Chains A and B, each alone.
Chain A
Amino acid sequence: MTQLSLKNLQQQMMNYLLEDDMTIAGEITQQGNITNQVRLHIYQNAYNQRLKEVIDNDHQMLGLYLGDNLFDQMVTGYIKAFPSGCRSLRHYADQLPEFLKVHPPFNDYPIISELAQFERLLLTAFDAADTTRLTINDLQQMPDLDWPELVLRFHPSVQIAYFSWNSVESWQALKAEKSPDEAANKENIWLVWRNRQRLTEFRSLDSEELSLINMVLKGENFSSLCDFLLSRAGDNDVSHLALSYLSTWIEQGIIRA
């Protein structure tokens, strides 16, 4: 009898785990009182359970928002739609916001995808690269002539999130073990980052600060930031305002050295 090649055997096993294709059962030796179906099911159960635990751990508030039944429906659907191609389980649920955006019944409630997106951003901030952060002392030692040309760079954990629903407020309510408000349509923008104590933080951004942050991201210098503020503030003291933004950013640890 020709032996099943290692490659074919592995493909059959994966077909069982992913598609419930029982072909592999014919390649398993019958031993003791346990059927081959039971033996294989131990692996399939472990596969599904492991992926479910990952989604559960990564998306705890989303789980609370959905409730057990919908959460299980989401997990089953996601595991089916996205067999893991990643080495690390840390990134297994990266496509979950996308999945929720397009798959019924979740796509009827866009806040659900936004909640998932917010939780993924928190994870990204949690283990983004480390780097030295700019301090007030660094700025104090900078020659006056260098100020106009100063180009700021954000800490690697910094992310901007654009939401169209009250997703973050709902997340906060669930975290505080309160019922979230009804889903409400509202444009809102959030800054997410990891602070100096390695804790993940987030706060909302108004349009002025968002514009400044986008200018920094484009590599524009401090002088350009001041010009932008001047165009909005008229005769007010924009250098004071610019320094106020800068010192807040430094204090919050979002600027790298």
Chain B
Amino acid sequence: MAHKEHPEIRGHMPSFSSNKSTPPEHFLGFGLGLRTDHFQEVLDTRPKLDWFEVVSENFMVDGGKPKHYLHAVREHYPMVMHGVSLSIGSTDPLNMDYLRQLKSLTNELQPEWLSDHLCWTGSDHTNSHDLLPLPYNEEALNHVVDRIKKVQDFLGRQILLENVSSYVTYKNSEMSEWQFFNEIAKAADCHILLDINNIYVSARNHGFKAEDYLQGIDTDRVRQFHLAGHSDYGDYVIDTHDHPVADPVWDLYHQALKRFGWISTMIERDDNIPALDELLAEVKKARLIANDVLVKA
């Protein structure tokens, strides 16, 4: 599918003299996570957005309103699919029923790409419904790489994996999260979705520098950014995705743009869903920051 034009960006781009100022082919622009609260308003007002991300599992239903709205919105916007149940790091066998449903939804929607998380969500067929961190060691690396390859073979396409917020570091980790992430992406030949908020949250919780994470991630694998909010408890930060994007995360986004250039960026709000306008204002802010960093500079 052809990528959407981005008049606002192009209007500010007199020349494309360096790689950083020229959006790459995979750049979709600035998007938003589609939420049920906004279905009707999106259809009624057709907000100026370049794309939507949808949570795959929310539409793995037989029919009814969710599917109706999904297809209605799809008619007007490019989409990417974002899953939460792949459990790529679990030691349970891959859930082939899930993968079949995912493939079927992919065929229905024809998304630009699909993503999930670098994590595990359950074991022994019990689901935590949470994005649990992996140990960063050789065993986990080989295990995850093998499974990504199987998933990509089954789906017939590359996937993106996203960094999760975490609160624990396992004693048997042997490398940094970003080294682990790079090695996996390279060995499995998959792409990376960087959640800028999750980097901030994990950095605060584990005491590493968020900048080190950004600088440590290979530039050629990153295809998407998530921007989201969190809850700050002083000693630690919890990734709640239920607040506006916080200032330190906007600052980190600024730095991420400098390192990675034009990367499709979206606002991801999962809870405490505000009025659509509020989220559109955050999307606009991301767009303006990208223009400042990548065009005006």
Residues of A within 8 A of B (CB): 3-7, 9-11, 13-14, 17-18, 27-29, 31-34, 36, 38-40, 42-43, 46-47, 50-51, 83-90, 92, 126-131, 156-157, 194, 198
Q: For B98, give its contact among A7, A32, A87 (CB under 8 Å).
A: A87
Nearest chain B CB to A123's CB is how many angstroms away? 10
A6 touches B139 (CB 8 A): yes
Q: Which residue of B lies closest to A17 (CB)?
A: B128
Contact status of A39 and B91, CB under 8 A, knowing A3-B139, A47-B128: no
A33, A130, A131: the one within 8 Å of B235 (CB): A33
Q: Are A84 and B129 in contact (CB under 8 A)?
A: yes
Within 8 A of A (CB), among B138-190: 139-140, 143, 167-173
Are the C-beta atoms of B63 and A156 separated by less than 8 Å? Answer: yes
Q: Are A88 and B65 in contact (CB under 8 A)?
A: no
CB-CB < 8 A to A88: which residues of B? Answer: 57, 60, 85
Contact A83 B60 (CB under 8 A): no
Q: Does B123 contact A (CB under 8 A)?
A: yes
Q: Total A-B pairs in contact (CB under 8 Å)?
A: 131
A130 near B64: Cβ-Cβ < 8 Å: yes
Using C-beta atoms within 8 Å of the partner chain, give the interface range for chain B.
35 or more
Picked from A14, A127, A198, the residue with its CB within 8 Å of the CB of B128 is: A14
Contact pick for A3, options B97, B137, B168, B206, CB 8 Å:
B137
Q: What residues of A have a CB within 8 angstroms of the CB of B120 in the complex?
A: 10
Chain A residues with CB under 8 Å of B98's CB are 87
CB-based contact A43/B129 at 8 Å: no
Q: List 30 A-B contacts (CB under 8 A).
A: A3-B172, A6-B140, A13-B128, A14-B124, A17-B128, A28-B170, A28-B171, A29-B170, A32-B235, A43-B128, A43-B132, A43-B168, A50-B129, A84-B126, A84-B127, A84-B128, A85-B125, A87-B57, A87-B95, A88-B85, A89-B129, A127-B61, A128-B63, A128-B64, A129-B62, A130-B62, A130-B67, A131-B63, A157-B64, A198-B65
- List the interface of chain B (C-beta within 8 A of A): 57, 60-68, 85, 89-91, 95, 97-98, 120, 122-130, 132, 134-135, 137, 139-140, 143, 167-173, 205-207, 235-236, 238
Q: A87-B95, A130-B64 are in contact. Are A9 and B124 (CB under 8 A)?
A: no
A-side contacts of B97, CB under 8 Å: 87
With A34-B205, A43-B128 known, 10 other A-B pairs at CB within 8 A are A4-B172, A6-B139, A6-B143, A42-B236, A46-B130, A85-B127, A127-B67, A128-B62, A130-B62, A156-B63
- In the assembly, what is the distance between CA of A27 and CA of B169, in Å? 9
> Which residues of A have CB within 8 Å of B235?
32-34
User: Please, how many angstroms separate the alpha-carbon atoms of A50 and B242 in the complex?
Assistant: 14
B238 proximity list for chain A (CB < 8 A): 42
Give the distance to chain B from A2, nearest Cβ to Cβ, in Å: 10
A9: which of B95, B169, B170 is its contact (CB, 8 Å)? B170
Instruction: List, in ascending order, chain A residues with CB within 8 A of B128's CB.
Output: 13-14, 17, 43, 47, 84
